Amino acid sequence: MNKVTSFITGFWNGFFHVTPKKTAMRGERKIRNNLDDNQVDSMIDESFPASDPPSTY
């Protein structure tokens, strides 16, 4: 195998290699795309107000 072929093979294998993170992101995307309005509303309510500091400061 020459250097060019080796480089192309390495690039191809690295580019199309499926990592656990990519697999997890696909699963999260499926879940996120299948949420209904009630689920989104409850998630927003649970996270509000995320930017306000605690009242003890």
Tell me how many domains the chain contains: 1
Closest CA to 3 of 36, 28, 11, 31: 11
| 51 backbone dihedrals φ, ψ, rounded to 5° | -90, -10
Is 54 part of any domain? no
Is 27 part of any domain? yes
pLDDT at 17: 66
pLDDT at 19: 66
Is 6 part of any domain? no
Is 44 part of any domain? yes
CB 24 within 8 A of CB 32: no
Is 28 part of any domain? yes
Residue 7 in tokens: 């480089």
Low-confidence residues of the chain: pLDDT under 50: none
- Say what the pTM is: 0.38
Q: What range defines the domain where residue 34 resides?
A: 19-48
Helix ranges (DSSP H) in the chain: 3-15, 20-33, 37-47
